[in-house]
Structures are given as C-alpha cells and as structure tokens.
Amino acid sequence: MNLEEKLAAYLAKALEAGDLSVESLSRIPGGASRETYRFRALYTKNGVRIEHKLILRRDPPASLIDTDRATEFRAYRAAHALGLPVPEPLVLEEKGDALERPFFVMEEIAGCQVANILLPDPYGAHAGRIGEQFFRTLGTLARADADAIGLGAFDGCKDVRDCWRHELSRWQREIDQDEREPQPIVRAALRWLAKHPPPPAQKIALVHGDYRSGNFLYDGDGNIRGILDWEMAHLGDPLEDLAWALDPLWSHGDPARPAGTIPRDAAIAIWRRASGLDFDEAAFRWWEIFASLKGAAIWISAAREYAEGRNPDPVNAFSGLYCLAFHNKVLAERLAVAA
C-alpha cells in the first residue's frame, strides 16, 4: 500500500467511517521537524457525504531538534480549547505501525498563506491589523492558566525561579552536543546569561516555543487564521515567547517593527493588555539575549546535520550559514554594549 492507502485505512478506523478514502495527498512546506501533507478525506457519516480537508504531520526519518509529536498535539488541543486561532487537532498516533513513523492529523485552514522571513514588508497594508492580532494572541496565551487548560503536568519548568535556568540548560546541551566549529560569541553569551539571571517569572504559562512571523497562516483580509508549529511548546516564562517574537531575525529587515508588523512599543503594550502581565525591561533583556542564543543553538544543530550528511534539507544549510551568522551578529551587538 502507498501512503495514501495506508492513511485511508487508518482514518477509516479512527473516524469510524468504513468508506473513507484519501485524495489529493501532497507534501507541503511545514518546518524541518515534521513532514507535512495536505489531503482530502471523503466519507459518509450518518448518511451524509463529507469532504474533510486535513493536514498530516508525520515524524521525519531524522529530526533536527528532537520533539515529541504528543507534545505538539496536546499544545494544539489546549490552544484550540482556549479559542486561539489554530487548526483543530483530530487524531494522534504515537506508534509507527500505520504510517511507518508517528504522526497526527489536524484540520486544514485553507486559502491562507505564510510569510517568507526573507521578504521585506510581507503583510503590506495589513501589517497593523496582523501585528495587533499577533501580539494579542500571544498575550492571551500568556494569560491562560496552564492547569485550567489541562497542561499543568506539561513538559518544561514548574518553578517560577527556575524557568531561565531550565531553558538555558536545555539549549546549552544542544550547543555542547552539536558545536562543530568553535563559537566564541555563543560561548560568551552562554556565560553572560548564566552570570546575569533574570528575576523569577511572573507566572508559569504555556510557551509556544517558536512564536514568530513565518509561523502563522493569514488570509487576504489580514486575519490570522492559524498559529502553527507548536512542537517546541513547553511550560515556562511568558517573556520567552515575547522575546522570540520580537527577535530581529523575524522582523523582515526592520527590527523597529517586530514580526514585520507594528512598532516595538505598540507590540509590547498590546501584549501587556492581553496577558495582564507587567513588562520588566531588565527581565526582558535577559530573554532577548536568550532568544538569539536559542536561535544560534538551533542553527548550530542544523549546520551539523547538513555538514555531516545526515539531513541534506536545504533549510539546514540556510540555517547554518545565514541564520547563525545573523544571530551571532545580534548577540555581539547586544553584548558588546553590555561589556
């Protein structure tokens, strides 16, 4: 059986629809940590013929950063229950029997696009509208109570005093493991972060982990319809997501307008209103430096995957060459001022 037939056989059981067929299965871009496919499931339910547009997210043979598809699925489910704009997750399969590797299926949000991070001004006349939604949605996520959305025992940090240490340790491990060529800026940044810890988090919240321009679907009217790529979701300090969202790499060439949308101060004000949290510039500074360090860690891992021939995906070459040089520059500019 090919992938289409295997998927149809699996979904026929999972959705209790014996006549289910899969059509128009086609792979689409969807990040380096999952294979993403768009397809249509056709079946009869209670005598009604249904055509369901769906997305399959399957583990690749080797992943850049090891992430758990159950984590991603649960984060989608929690965000969907919160009313955030995300595709509805439908089926999770953690074993590799049905499609050779674990996967999950969620609804497709059709008729939308994702911004290319290399394009200047991707949102055009809708930049203000998209920026307002983008930072309000992030604030809404930060406001949510992790226990109330069923994620009290989710991966990540459980103590407000330890969020910074938890994340710094995680990404230092990645760097220690994957650093092929010596990285003096990254090493100095690691030491600076360890020596200048931020104050405790105001709360523990669900952190998306990769909340940025290029990771959401928007329609032609400037409506954000789907926040994507929750595979690095975890519990932590909400400032972590805000700092990542404001990082210059995702600013489409204009760091004064984070995410290529609205001025930084306006973005922070919207986030504050929606989250109900304070914005502590000193604490945020730590998370800003951390964001660029975390980026560098991801790009170092990508560079190694590519350089050692394990994963020839061009996104790994791009990450190791362009993104790593970008974040080294950001870190050096910010930390040279502090020195």
Whether 251 contacts 259, CB under 8 Å: yes
Token pair for 105:
């299926």
Decide if residue 183 touches another protein (CB under 8 A). yes
| Residue 105: CB minimum distance to another protein, A | 18
Q: Give the closest residue to 41 by CA, choosing from 16, 59, 58, 24.
A: 24
Decide if residue 111 touches another protein (CB under 8 A). no
Decide if residue 332 touches another protein (CB under 8 A). yes
Window 184 to 223, contacts with another protein (CB under 8 A): 184-185, 187-188, 191
Question: Applying CB under 8 A, which of residues 52, 113, 118, 138 lies at the interface with another protein?
Answer: 118
Decide if residue 333 touches another protein (CB under 8 A). yes
Give the span between the Cα atoms of 57 and 311, in whole angstroms.
Answer: 18
- Spatial neighbors of 33 by CB under 8 A, at least 6 apart, are 60, 63, 64, 65, 67, 231
Q: CA 226, 228, 233, 239 torsion: positive or negative? A: negative
Decide if residue 60 touches another protein (CB under 8 A). no
Residue that has been written with the tokens 């069923």 in this structure: 150
| Residue 96: CB minimum distance to another protein, A | 22
Window 11 to 40, contacts with another protein (CB under 8 A): 26-30, 36
Cα distances from 114 to residues 155, 200, 224, 313, in angstroms, run 28, 35, 10, 19
| Residue 7: CB minimum distance to another protein, A | 16
Residue with smaller CB distance to another protein, 200 or 255:
255
Please give the size of the binding site for another protein, defined by CB under 8 A.
32
Window 162 to 181, contacts with another protein (CB under 8 A): 181
Output phi, psi for 268, to 5 deg.
-65, -40
Footprint on this chain of another protein (rule: CB under 8 A) = 26-30, 36, 118, 181-185, 187-188, 191, 313-315, 317-318, 321-322, 325-326, 328-329, 331-333, 335-336, 339
